[in-house]
Structure 1
Amino acid sequence: MPGDRLTHQDRRDIAAGLAAGLTYSMIARGLQRPVSTVTREIIRNGGPAAYRADQAHQATKRRARRTSAPSTPSPAPPAAATYGRAAEAMQEFRERFAALLGATGLPPMMSRVLACLYATDTGSLTSAELVQQLQVSPASISKAVGYLEKQELIRRERDPRRRRDRYVIDEDVWYQALLASARVNAELADIAEQGAKALGATTPGGTRLQDVSQFLEHVNQDIVHSANHWRQIYFRRTTDR
């Protein structure tokens, strides 16, 4: 069984499969990989219409270098630097933001941690600081940050001066959230297409599933295209600032 990391040749095979009109499931079977791995790879690199094997491979290498490179976290501002903000107003904001995040399907504790991180100027906190602000156990924070890391909503940075980790909101947090949603939609479209073939394309059930598959596929492509387009625009604005 191949390792977890996709090789350059794997990516070329994915590109060839997309060009041939194969489904994600068919490509995954040819590579002996989970469908989720292939789906994530395609969506993360522009979607089925814009996927390029060489570009995807180079992008993955750049991400790996950023992850492995020693980071120098920005120092946290003094506790007194509140900029005249009312503590009650900040607490209300965190609670309302967490509630809205929870309404999107994010578990309650994960929502509270994410809202807490957003309500800091540095966008980063240690586990101990999260425990103190949220008044919960270290185990609860550990579980929450582990979940958020897996969803690529936050990342972990090592502070060499204090020998502890800081949890940082990724600048691409909403972009990554959209891509995560797109990955799920892509898998739904794929399995709906499989169901259509199993039932028969001319049967009522098969036609229904085929319509679902095509709807999700086209909407998904629009979402990924729009997300990539606006991400580039905002990245340029951030660079200019």
Structure 2
Amino acid sequence: MPGGRLTQQERQRIAAGLADGLSYAEIGRRLERPTSTISREVSRNGGPGRYRPQQAHLATVRRARRGTPVASREGRPPGGTTEDRIVALAVASGMPRTMARVHVDLLMSEDGRRTAAELVRRLEVSPASVSVAVNYLVRHGYARRERDPRRRRDVYVVDDEAWYHSIAISARQTLASARAATEAAGTLGPGSPVGRRLLRAGTFLERVVEDMKESADRWRTLLT
């Protein structure tokens, strides 16, 4: 799969794909590039109706010539911004990258609130990517969705209680797995090798989850 910056030839193929009405995902497949790369390239350079490959390539060259290392340009540490480092840690812990970027952008906003349009503009990703990321974050308790009645649009919110809710949701999911293992052990027979293994795993997970739930409830007041 190609890596690095887009070439001028690839930009010409992106323009041809847009003219043919292809989706970002289909263009990405043909170029063997991630959909997010295509979306970011087009949004940076005028959008689907105004994308011009030559101008896009020249703009990228100019940005590269102007660019200097982040540390010397803005006084930031070589490891990148604080946001970059938090995103990297979230990805390392198992969160998909786009979800991590959306989550960190919400966390670092002044009031913990963003609209979908704001996330698309700030992160330079497609609306579909934002929708998938937000659904993931809401499902796992990292954020919640509110409705702005005046503008008739959703607002995505992260607050201090989100940490408690994410732990509670994770605990319920792990507890369900623990009980499933215990039930399977009973079906197979606790005296069998597989039954003993499942029983031990289920018991261990259930005890750990119960401790985690009690700890989260005990320290929840720190979030208020």
Band the TM-score falls in, shorter-chain normalisation: 0.5 to 0.7
Alignment-derived partner of residue 97 in structure 2: 108
Residue 185 (structure 1) aligned with residue 174 (structure 2): yes
Letter in structure 2 aligned against 1:133 = R
Letter in structure 2 aligned against 1:182 = A
Residue 234 (structure 1) aligned with residue 222 (structure 2): yes
Query: Which of these residues, 134, 137, 141, is aligned with residue 126 of structure 2?
Result: 137
**Deviation of 1:87 (Å):** 9.7
Gaps of 5+ in 2: 1-73
Residue 209 (structure 1) aligned with residue 212 (structure 2): no
Alignment-derived partner of residue 220 in structure 1: 209
- Output the CA distance in 2 between the equivalents of 1:134 and 1:87: 22
- Output the CA distance in 1 between the equivalents of 2:219 and 2:145: 26
- Output the CA distance in 2 between the equivalents of 1:103 and 1:205: 32
- Output the CA distance in 2 between the equivalents of 1:102 and 1:191: 28
TM-score, normalization: structure 1? 0.56
TM-score, normalization: structure 2? 0.60
SS for the counterpart of 2:218 is helix
Larger-Rg structure: 2
Higher relative contact order (CA 8 A, sep 6+): 1
**Deviation of 1:222 (Å):** 0.4
Contact kept, 8 Å, 2:140 with 2:170, in 1: the verdict is no
Letter in structure 1 aligned against 2:81 = E
SS for the counterpart of 1:167 is strand
- CA distances 1:9-65 after superposition (whole Å, capped 9, x unpaired): xxxxxxxxxxxxxxxxxxxxxxxxxxxxxxxxxxxxxxxxxxxxxxxxxxxxxxxxx
**Deviation of 1:88 (Å):** 5.8
SS for the counterpart of 2:81 is helix
* Identity in percent: 44
**Deviation of 1:139 (Å):** 1.6
Aligned-residue CA RMSD (Å): 2.1
SS for the counterpart of 1:125 is strand
* Structure 1 residues 119 and 204, CA gap change in structure 2 (3 angstroms): same
**Deviation of 1:220 (Å):** 1.0
Gaps of 5+ in 1: 1-85
* Structure 1 residues 110 and 160, CA gap change in structure 2 (3 angstroms): same
SS for the counterpart of 1:112 is helix
* Structure 1 residues 92 and 122, CA gap change in structure 2 (3 angstroms): same
- Output the CA distance in 2 between the equivalents of 1:159 and 1:205: 53
**Deviation of 1:99 (Å):** 1.6
Alignment-derived partner of residue 49 in structure 1: none
